[in-house]
Amino acid sequence: MAVFVLDKQKRPLMPCTEKRARLLLERGRAVVVRLAPFTIRLKDRIGGAVQPLRLKLDPGSRVTGLTLVRESETCDPETGALERLEHGLWFGELAHRGQAIREALTLRRHYRRARRSRKTRYRAPRFLNRP
């Protein structure tokens, strides 16, 4: 996967490979900005050319898939047809909390029922205990 890169003024540049990021960090030319998603900031570069990127979403009921793709177009000289290529740079998942909230409410309901029923097992009946 690609590593996100920021310039000296914290503006985004094109993502780089993990190996290039590792070399930049070892040589002291970059510092780590964020661990998730892993992002580095270059110490000695301001600005640069940026290629068109697109964020694609795959919505699901429990997880939404995220993909950052770089688009490139090539023209076939013989036919003149445009061919669009997409190169996946970064892939991620966004887990929804709906299922976790449902499970937490179910667990809370079970605890409440157990708490209400556990106190009356070996106790004498309390319905005619008024003087």
Give the CA distances from residue 99 to residues 60, 106, 119, in Å, rounded to whole numbers and listed in that order: 12, 11, 31
Residue 131 pLDDT > 90, yes or no?
no
pTM above 0.95, yes or no: no
Question: Position of tokens 């097992």?
Answer: 121
Q: For residue 129, how many C-alpha atoms fall within 13 Å in the half-sphere facing its CB?
A: 5
pLDDT per position as a tens digit, 74-83: 888 888 888 8
Structural domain boundaries of the chain?
2-97
User: Average pLDDT of the chain?
Assistant: 89
**Residue 1 to residue 112: CA distance in whole angstroms:** 46
